Amino acid sequence: MLALKGGAQLYKVENFGDYGICGFYALDKTRHQLKLFLFSCRILNLGVENYVYGKLACPQIEIKGDVSSALSPNEVVDWITETGDEEIKETSEAPANKKKILFLGGCDLEQLCHYIKQKNEYITDFNFPNTRNVAVHKEHTAFLRDSLLMSEQEKKDAEMLPLGDSRMFDSKIFSDTQYDVLVYSVLMNYTHEVYVNSKGHRIAYGGYMNEEGLMEYLNFSDDERNHFTQEYRYLGLQTPESFKDDLEWLVKHVKKPIVFINGAEVDGVSEQEPGAYNRHVLMNKAFEEFVSIHKDQCSIIDVRDYAKDVSGFRDTIRHYKRTVYVKMSEQLLAVLDSNYQKK
């Protein structure tokens, strides 16, 4: 169900609960032209943007930059029912022993969270935009581990970079310890390049690009370029050995059950990331080796079981169609119920 409120604020509602405000548009009715057309990643792959676009009679729109979902004016969206302002009724009473889950990873996991909230509480630690509208990812193990070793001045230096923010080293893994299970997507370890500063401490950012590519992609100023090249050394993508070493550190410090989410292994998903398939194969192998010796504390939601060909993806090898997230959530609920009973 979709509720349109205030003419331009969009609320998404379904049997699993309420998504809240999930989109906004500004329509120039005189010119029949959209000035703004924005949607949250919580509702990606649900067809909401195409439904609304059709509801508005497909006005003119100028798309600038990369977008996560293409508009398809001819697509028939017949699975959405528009409703008025109504209260959302829970489908069932939450169990008394529900667990508190901390989700760490990309914001696309909000879709996964949505399906588990009837039985469990959850908190999230996802990427977010900084003041330059750059997505700040802090879930790479380089951030998690080395943030505990950095001086305050080192942190401030990193926070001032175009990829940084004052919250980039504040992980809820350590600051909010009142959770029962950690659900952790390690995809940024597969994707982001690692840089080490003059003190030997790491940060990570990128996505299959070298140092020059990163500075160009994030529009570094001349001063920022000079500081970055002098203070940080490019290491490239994390090695499997370094990855496993970081994970060993993680399980010793978290000391809670961890449900990991690995990477898909489908070739040809995105032309912009031609090396992603081989990279995922390499890192998944190392990941499985690690989890195999930590079965008492660690489990895996294996994306490969659900995203088996290009039809299961949206734009990159890290973003899936809705059906994949639904199946992942079903496995997650089964793992939580069978392996991690709250005491």
For 59-84, the pLDDT digits (tens) are 999 887 777 677 877 777 777 777 66
168 Cβ neighbours under 8 A, 6+ residues apart: 136, 138, 143, 158, 159
Give, rounded to a whole angstrom, the gap between the first and last alpha carbons of the chain. Answer: 37
Mean pLDDT in residue range 289-314: 96
Residue 20: per-residue pLDDT: 66
Statement: 100-339 belongs to CATH 3.40.50.1110 = yes
Q: Which residue has the higher pLDDT, 131 or 9?
A: 131
Strand partners, 184: 104, 260
Task: Tell me what pLDDT residue 342 has.
Answer: 57
Decide if pLDDT at 193 tops 80.
Answer: yes
Phi and psi torsions of 230, nearest 5°: -80, -35
Separation between Cα atoms, residue 282 and residue 108, nearest integer Å: 23
Residues 156-178: b if buried by 16+ CB within 10 A, e if exposed:
ebbbebbbbbeebbebbbeeeee
3-state secondary structure of 336: helix
**C-alpha closest to that of 127 among 287, 260, 319:** 319
Distance in angstroms (rounded) separating the CA atoms of residues 315 and 70: 10
Specify the pLDDT at position 176. Answer: 73
Q: What is the pTM of this model?
A: 0.77
Nearest C-alpha neighbor of 128 from the set 167, 169, 78: 167
Task: Provide the pLDDT for residue 11.
Answer: 54
DSSP assignment letter at 156: H
Tell whether the model's pLDDT for residue 92 goes beyond 60.
Answer: no
Q: Which of 14-18, 58-62, 298-302 has the highest mean pLDDT?
A: 298-302
pLDDT at 91: 46
Lowest mean pLDDT among 79-83, 171-175, 267-271: 79-83
Checking DSSP bridges between strand 2-5 and strand 135-136, what pairing results, if any?
unpaired
Q: Does residue 276 carry a pLDDT above 60?
A: yes
pLDDT at residue 7 tops 50: no
User: Torsion-angle region of residue 192: left (phi > 0), alpha (psi -120 to 50) or beta?
Assistant: beta
Gap between the Cα atoms of 303 and 283, Å rounded: 13
Tally helices (H) and strands (E) across the chain.
11, 15
* pLDDT at 202 (0 to 100): 97
pLDDT tens column, 218-263: 999 999 999 999 999 999 999 999 999 999 999 999 989 999 999 9
pLDDT band for 24, please (50, 70, 90 cuts): confident
Lowest average pLDDT, out of 84-88, 247-251, 294-298, goes to 84-88
Distance CA 204, CA 188 (A): 8
318 compared with 88, residue with greater pLDDT: 318
More confident residue, 89 or 30: 30
- Say which range, 43-52, 54-63, 102-111, has the weakest mean pLDDT: 43-52
Mean pLDDT of 309-313: 94
% the chain with pLDDT above 70? 87
Categorize the per-residue pLDDT at 49 as very low, low, confident or very high, splitting at 50, 70 and 90.
confident
Considering the chain, what percentage of its residues have pLDDT values greater than 90? 61
Point out the least confidently predicted range of 72-86, 99-113, 174-188, 305-319.
72-86
Q: Using the structure block, give the residue that is written with the tokens 């203070």.
A: 231
What does the angle CA 286 – CA 289 – CA 293 come to, to the nearest 5 degrees? Answer: 145
Enumerate the β-bridge partners of residue 18: 13
Name the average pLDDT for the chain.
87
Q: Tell me, what's the pLDDT at 179?
A: 94
pLDDT of 37 reads 86
